[in-house]
Amino acid sequence: MDGAVSDQMQEYLETIYRLEAESVIARTGEIARHLKVAPPSVTDMIQKLEKAGLVEYEPYKGVVLTPAGRAVGKRQLEKHRIMQAFLQEVCGMGHDEAHEAACDMEHTLPAQLEQWCAAFLAKKMGKPFDTTRKVKEQIVSR
């Protein structure tokens, strides 16, 4: 499904996934704040995501991921966290700088490179990197 979902859609799904994981209702304003976009842009994208079967939207109540949308959002977050951790731990980038770079990289990250980075992190850290936990909980910020 990842191939049929644009980078921008992936970013929205990842954001909604993050909000759901934090038990925050994914309302238009909250999504807009996280993505630093205007609320009307969020409304437009939510309509596209709903049409694609990736979210369910109820005005004034927020957005909920469908199982397909949740899978894409979760996968994007996993790739993001691996790349961010790699950039911080191995390349010495600061937390915010690595976060921004990982946002760009996660959309084009080849599976083989992701696996290599994850294996390298595991070897360096002495344990597998946990993509279900925030990077700052596992990597000392620089």
Give per-residue pLDDT as tens, 99-117.
999 999 999 999 999 999 9
Same domain, 37 and 86: no
Same domain, 22 and 61: yes
Residue 58 lies in a domain: yes
Boundary-marking domain end, from 71, 97, 123: 71
User: With bands split at pLDDT 50, 70 and 90, how would you rate the model's confidence at 2?
Assistant: very low
Gap between the Cα atoms of 97 and 117, Å rounded: 18
Q: Encode pLDDT of 36-88 as tens digits.
A: 999 999 999 999 999 999 999 998 889 999 999 999 999 999 999 999 999 99
Residue 142 lies in a domain: no
Which residue in this structure is represented by tokens 């596209």? 48
Predicted pLDDT of residue 22:
92
Same domain, 55 and 103: no
User: With bands split at pLDDT 50, 70 and 90, how would you rate the model's confidence at 141?
Assistant: low
Task: Express as a percent the part of the chain with pLDDT over 90.
Answer: 86
- Report the number of distinct structural domains present in the chain: 2
Residue 111 lies in a domain: yes
With a cut of 80, say whether residue 140 has pLDDT above it: no
Q: Give CA 70 to chain center in angstroms.
A: 11
DSSP E strand stretches across 16-125: 55-58, 62-65
Contact 73, 16 (CB under 8 A): yes
